[in-house]
Structure formats: C-alpha cells, structure tokens
Chains A and B, each alone.
Chain A
Amino acid sequence: MLSPSILIAAIVNGLLTGAVYALVALGLTLIYGVLHIINFAHGTLLTAAMFAAYFAYRLLGIDPYAAVFVLAPAFFAVGYALQRFVIGPASHGDDRNMLLVTLGLAVVIENALLFAFRADTRTIDLPYAFDGIDLGFAFLPLPRLIGFGAVFAVALVLWLIMNATDTGRAIRAVAKEKLGAELAGIEVAHIYAVTFGLGTACVAIAACLLIPSYYVNPAAGNAFVLVAFTIVVLGGMGSVPGALVGGLVIGVVESLSSLFFGESLGQIGIFLLFIVVLLVRPSGLFGARA
C-alpha cells in the first residue's frame, strides 16, 4: 500500500503538470470555440515555439521567462498569418477542408523541424532549474511553480481581452453568430485570424514555461496536444473554465495512473477516458454545445 505522502506528492505534481496542459488546451479550445474546428497543427506549433525558446536561450542567452514577452507576440503574428493567408483562403469556408489544411500544416512543420534539427532531443540547463520549495512530503520545483502561476495569469489576461475589449466582444459575436456579426460590420476573416493568433500565443507561452523543465525534439509537442484534445473534450469544446479545470484533472489522473500502472499505461488511461467522454458526453462536463 502506498503511503499518503507519496499520493499527495503525486497529486501536487499532477496539478503542476496539469496547469501547463491547461494552457495548451486553452489555445485549442479558444480556436474551436470560434472557428468550430480542431486545430491539428496546435502540437507542432508548440514544438516550434519550444525550439524558438530553446535557441533563444542557447544562442542569445535569453531566459525562457523573459522570452515569453517576445515569443508570445511573435507567435500571435505567426498564428494570425497562418489563418489569414493560408488556412482561411485554402479551405474555401469548408470545415472538413480546414481540418485537412491544419493537418497538412502539422505534417509540414513537424517534418521541417525534423529536417532542420534531426531527431535529437535537446534540453537547457538553467541555474535555478533545481531550486524549489520543500514541503516535507513533496518537493515543488521552481520552474513548475512559476508555470502554475503563469497559467492563471494568462487565463486572467485572456478573460480580460474577451470581456473588456472591442476585439474580445467581436470574437464572442463571431463565435455566437457568424453571419449576424458579419452583417454588423465585423470582419470575420480578421477575427478568425486574431483568434487563431491568440491560440498560438498561448502555445508559445506554454513552450516557454515547459522548456526549463522539459526537453524538445521535433515530436515533443505531440504528446501535449493529444492530452490537450482530451482536456478540451472533457471540459467542453470552446469552454475556457472547462479547459482550466480539465487540465488540472487530467494532470492528476495522469500522475496517479502512472504511479499505479506505469508510464505507458498511464497514457492509455487518458485516451480511454477521452474516448469514453467523447462517446458518452461529447459536449463535455462544462460545454453546452454537442
């Protein structure tokens, strides 16, 4: 029988990991909520951002937590451009085409990274990577604590953008009623691109939070995005609080099932949960739309 302290440590660790999952899922759910498609390029954009954060540190000596303030706007621009000039025009307004285009982009980005950097796994060593707070029963590494706090800060900023700015109001209008919004003079293509940019910026922030305690290789983002799909489905597609709560829940579930069943079966647990939720309650725990 496991002692309670190991169990609590696993739960705390799960919460810390889950917060970063939640951030990746936040970007995904935001895009789904407005464009009504799953962005299959989300994971590879995360990988690309992780490489950017890695090289910013290695080549320019920029601390990942400082790089956030450069990479988040830069990836906002990347996301905006991708939706405005590639995904939007290429898919002719058809949802199925949009899915395929994001999948095509994912294949291109992942393999371009593989081509450029090979399959090598890279890590960075920050001087404070192993600092942290010892609670006695659990050790909380500093990078993951910062990550946990940052996720809620990002969620707050997103909430403010959505609720207190004209752009946010326009995004919500487009999400609710595209045609009506268009008739009211909102430029839908622009709003789509802004949303895609915001989702991509979330991923860039997540990358900067991950890189101090994680590794990067051309497939690194995929693991996160599959988990993020699960979270989005669990929390309800398009629901921001759902993504936050879902992220934390999945973090804990993964941590506990790895503890009990080992690493690879822990992953299966997530996917099975995912399939069951999809089949039984596709609208998720918080979602209204099916």
Chain B
Amino acid sequence: MKGLVPVLAVVAVLAAVPLAGVSNVTLNFLVVALMTALAGQGWNVLGGYGGQYSFGHAAFFGTGAYITAVLQVRYGINAWLAFGLGIVGGALLGAVVGGLTFRSGLRGSYFALVTLAIAEVLRISASVAPITGAGVGTLVKLDLHVAALQFQSRAAFYWTILALVAVALIVTRQIERSRFGVWLIAVRENEDAATALGVNATAIKLAAMVISGAITAAAGCFYVQYFLFIDSGLAYGSWISIEALLTPIIGGAGTVFGPLVGALLVRGLGEGARMVTGGEAPGVDLVVYGCVLVLIIWLAPRGLIGALAQLRGRLKRPAPLVEAGHG
C-alpha cells in the first residue's frame, strides 16, 4: 500500500478538478488528454518497461473501440459488458501478436515494422468489412443513461476515464514493484543477458504485451462511449499509434507517471498550436508533436520525469545517477 501513495495522491487531486468549477471546454480537453494517457500507459508497459517499441498500438485501440461499438450496435449487448469485452479483446490480440512476433524472435526495427503492418492490415480490413460498417463507420445510438455508459455531464465522463487511468497507474506501479517488473526491465536492458540468467524472455514479453494491449484497448473502448462514432481511420489510423508512443517517451518511458505527464504536455502544446494558427491549419499540432518528440530524445532521452530526477539528483550531490528515471 505504501508504494501507491503518490498514485493515489495524484488521482485525488485530478478527481477534484471538476469540483473547482472548470469550463466544459477544459474538461473536454482533460478527458481527451487522459484518454491519450491511458493509451500511452499501455504502450509504456511494453515499450517503456519492456523496451519493445511498437509502432502500431492503434491495433489495440481500434480493436477495443470496434468491439465496444459493434457489440452494442449490432448485437444489442449492454454497453458495460461490451466495454469489458473490448478490453478482453485487446488482451487477446496482444497474446496473438506477441505470440507470433516474440516466438519468431523479432526485435527492434523488425518488431516496430510488424506491429505497424498489423495495424495497417486491420485498418484496411475494417474499411471494407461489412461488420464494422466499412467505409461509413459505426454510429452508437445516443442514450444518456448510466446503464448505457453514457452521461449527461462532462464531469461523469471525466471521472470514468480518470478511474481507468487510476487502474492503469496502479497496475503499472505494481508491475514496477514486482518480480515480473524486474524481469521485464532486465529484458529491456539486455535480453541475451537476462535469458542467460534464466529469465524466460519470450514469456515475459508476451505477458507485458497482453497487459499493454488490454490497457490501450480500454482507451479505445472509452473513445467510442465518449464520441459515439468509430471508423477505420479513427480506430486503426497512425495518429493513435503515434500518440500512444509519444506520451510515454515525452513524459518518461518506463516511469509510472510518464504517460500522464506526456499526455497533458502534448495535448496542451497541440491545443496551443491550434490556437496560435486560429484552428485553420491542418496538421500543425502534429508538426509540434513531431518536433517535441525529436527534441525530447535529443535533449532529455529519459523524458521529462527522467530529466527532473536527474536534476534533483545533481542538486542533492552524491546521489547516484543510476537511480534517476524512476518515478
């Protein structure tokens, strides 16, 4: 319990935000930022702690989103159940993708490529398959009842996504403190050495991918409940693959709060860029994202949290640098 104090404190502060009477525009911004943070937290488990850089996490986001939408719309299944099944679907996809890629020993560039290709295959399939609504997409009926997992107030949506983020933060923190987490980090630092010491790298990476897939899928499930629409470009497009890796890298990959910090910063910068150009400039927010990504890797390869920890360590003097980077 002691290790969870920072997580609970951050969540408590965030939970109080709607009570402070912020505008709907601000709440909407925070909802989307938290959704991005959730998608990024999924990436963080696999990429940040496990060192397996996926360039196609849209595969999980989109699968969660489509399962939630299609089960409700076409099979009349309750939204809460559909939401849960969406998360399960993400975990299963993680098992399949992880089983295929890690068993074949794919690493580095190859792993990035194959995840990218899987997301593309899913995107193209979803754009032609009748069950997903093909090119038209799937619209979830407006039904503002708790039973349908839709809320009248923005605040309720905000607390829903915050609760999901809180679960993801706790899961990540528990992973970090567990033996599994240590094995995962060992695989990231040197897979061959870890294997030589008896760590079953394939199984560890596979487990990380299942958890990762489930968390990122949850973000997709939430997306559908919030926007009530999904199509192949939104579900499996490269935007979410990029945001899912951008947020942890910028905040601090392999740290508990990295994705949250990164998501708030990235979304804030994106909004700022849009405001400066008067909202009339397509792509300008993504230009900012790309620049921030390159600059962060250049100047602070361990993300903002890593940079702060290093700074603190330097101020305190003989603090060991090795410890920097743990949030």
Contacts and interface: CB of A to CB of B under 8 A. Distances in A.
Interface of A: 32, 36-38, 40, 86, 89-92, 94-97, 99-101, 103-108, 110-115, 118-119, 218, 226, 229, 233, 237, 264-265, 267-268, 271-272, 274-275, 278-280, 282, 290
Contacts of A280: 104
B117 A275 contact: yes
Contacts of A101: 293-294, 297-298
A37 B124 CA distance: 26
Interface residues of B, number: 41
Contacts of B294: 86, 90, 101, 104-105, 108
A38 B109 contact: yes
If over half of A's interface residues share one DSSP class (helix, strand or loop), that class is named, otherwise mixed; here it is helix
A37 B128 CA distance: 33
A229 B117 contact: yes
A121 B87 CA distance: 39
Interface stretch (B71-79, B199-207, B283-291): B283-291
Interface of B: 51, 53, 55, 100-101, 104-106, 108-110, 112-114, 116-118, 120-121, 124-125, 127-128, 242, 245, 249, 281-284, 286-287, 289-291, 293-295, 297-298, 301
Given A91-B298, A100-B249, A282-B106, 18 more contacts: A36-B109, A91-B297, A96-B51, A99-B53, A99-B108, A100-B53, A101-B293, A106-B290, A107-B290, A110-B283, A112-B283, A119-B282, A264-B124, A274-B117, A278-B106, A279-B106, A279-B114, A282-B105
Contact of B297 (A97, A108, A111, A113): A97
A80 to B, nearest CB: 17
A155 to B, nearest CB: 23
A105 B124 contact: no
A268 B282 contact: no
A111 B286 contact: yes
A279 B100 contact: yes
Contacts of A40: 55, 112
